[in-house]
Structures are given as structure tokens and as C-alpha cells.
């Protein structure tokens, strides 16, 4: 599980840098200010959670069921949240908004909340 967290942390970080640069340069010409802001939100959340995965992988054994669920929640949540935003903004800019992605963004957010909630629970449990 540690390697999985490290892999996705590194992958998400790598892609966040690429997408951030892409958004700052190429998309700036075709996106509205609102679309660019949404895209940047996806990039920020992706980078935040990439770093979180790396920090967790170097500080926890990630062997318990709760720790595994925490990592799955963050990995899946980041993908659903950020990549649905990328799809929504890109398709809207091209005039063919993929509306089916709309409900996926909050679902990704829910997975992220579950991941963070499990982290809080694990920390509190270890304190007691």
C-alpha cells in the first residue's frame, strides 16, 4: 500500500505540474476566466492530495484496513474530483459540455472527505 500511495502521489504531482503549466499558457487563450478558475481548482486539489499521499506514505505503514481505505479514498477522490473538472472545463470550452461529469465532481469530493475523515480518526485513535 505504501508503494501505491507513493506512485499515485508522484503521478498526481507530475500531472499537476504539467496541467498547471498547460492551463497557464495554452488554455488561457481558449478558456473564459470562470473556466480557467475551475481548471486551476482541479490542479490545486490534485497537487494538495499528491503531497498528502507522499507524506502519508512516508509516515504511516499503511497496513491496517482503515489506512488502506484512507489511501483509496484520497486516490479515487482526487481522480474523480480533479479529472471531472478538467473534462467539464475542456468540453465547455469546445462548446460541447459533458454534463454527465457534473455529478462526478462532488462524488470525488466525498471520497476526499472520507479520506481526510479516516486520517483524523486514525490520528485520534493513535493518541488515545
SS3 37: helix
Rounded CA-CA distance 109/25 in Å is 27
Give the separation between CA 45 and CA 128, rounded to whole angstroms: 31
Per-run averaged pLDDT (10 residues), the chain, 128 residues: 98 98 92 96 98 97 97 98 97 92 97 98 95
Q: So what's the pLDDT on residue 41?
A: 98
What is the reported pLDDT for 122?
Answer: 97
pLDDT at site 29: 87
What is the number of domains present in the chain? Answer: 1
Query: What range does the domain containing 76 cover?
Result: 2-127
DSSP string for residues in 43-104:
HHHHHHHHHHHHHHHHH----SHHHHHHHHHHHHHHHHHHHHHHHHHHHHHTT---GGGTTH
Amino acid at each position: 500500500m505504501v508503494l501505491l500511495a507513493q506512485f499515485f502521489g508522484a503521478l498526481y504531482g507530475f500531472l499537476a505540474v504539467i496541467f498547471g503549466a498547460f492551463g497557464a499558457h495554452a488554455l488561457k487563450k481558449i478558456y473564459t476566466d470562470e473556466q480557467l478558475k475551475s481548471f486551476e481548482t482541479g490542479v490545486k486539489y490534485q497537487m494538495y492530495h499528491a503531497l498528502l499521499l507522499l507524506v502519508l506514505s512516508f509516515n504511516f505503514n499503511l497496513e491496517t484496513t482503515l489506512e488502506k481505505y484512507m489511501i483509496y479514498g484520497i486516490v479515487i477522490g482526487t481522480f474523480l474530483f480533479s479529472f471531472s473538472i478538467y473534462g467539464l472545463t475542456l468540453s465547455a470550452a469546445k462548446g460541447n459540455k459533458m454534463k454527465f461529469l457534473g455529478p462526478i465532481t462532488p462524488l470525488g469530493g466525498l471520497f476526499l472527505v472520507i479520506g481526510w475523515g479516516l486520517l483524523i480518526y486514525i490520528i485520534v485513535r493513535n493518541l488515545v
